[in-house]
Amino acid sequence: METNNTPDSGDALSRVPQLDQQLCFALYSTSLAMNKLYRKLLRKLDLTYSQYLVMMVLWERDELTVSDLGEKLFLDSATLTPLLKRMEQAELVTRTRSASDERQVIIALSERGSALREQAKAIPACVLEATGCNLDQVVGLKGQLDDLRGQLMKSGI
């Protein structure tokens, strides 16, 4: 009789990890596919996906600090600052020091950045169509992913 040093091979958690069975890979590869879709959609706006995320936050509420933007986007200032500098050079946003606290930088939409909002309105419908899902399915999936992110962040590992 052949012995196996692993626990019950029928137990999915005890087997050697297989790529196509990993949640992390499903999320990663889906993210790659989503980014590819957005790259195509955002080309006409001359925005990267990261820039689009910043713009969406600012279209919701203009004039935020770098730290407020980072909190909304789950990015630290070391990642966000170079992105915002490039966006300022592209005349999408302005960066100014806060009058009340010079340590804080206020990010605001430029005229060009505000104008892009109208062009970007069609993007969510294009994404929904590309998913092949209905709106309720997408809303439910987004809720599950938000919950998963929250749990992972709480785990502190």
| pLDDT tens track for 21-35 | 999 999 999 999 999
Confidence of residue 98 (pLDDT cuts 50, 70, 90): confident
| pLDDT tens track for 126-146 | 999 999 999 999 999 999 999
Written as one letter, the residue type at 106 is: I
Query: What secondary structure letter does DSSP report for 43?
Result: G
Average pLDDT of the segment spanning 95-119:
92
Joined tokens for residue 18? 């297989």
Asked if residue 70 lies in contact with residue 80, where contact means CB atoms within 8 angstroms, the answer is: yes
* Predicted structure pTM score: 0.84
- CA–CA distance, 54 with 52 (Å, rounded to integer): 5
Instruction: Reply yes or no on whether the pLDDT at 6 is more than 60.
Output: no
SS3 18: coil
Instruction: Reply yes or no on whether the pLDDT at 10 is more than 70.
Output: no
- Please report the DSSP string for 3-25 in residue order: --SSS-TT-TTTSPP-GGG-HHH
Q: Residue for token digits 């980072």?
A: 70
Higher-pLDDT residue of 123, 99: 123
Joined tokens for residue 120? 């970007």
| Residue 101: per-residue pLDDT | 85
Joined tokens for residue 48? 């990267």
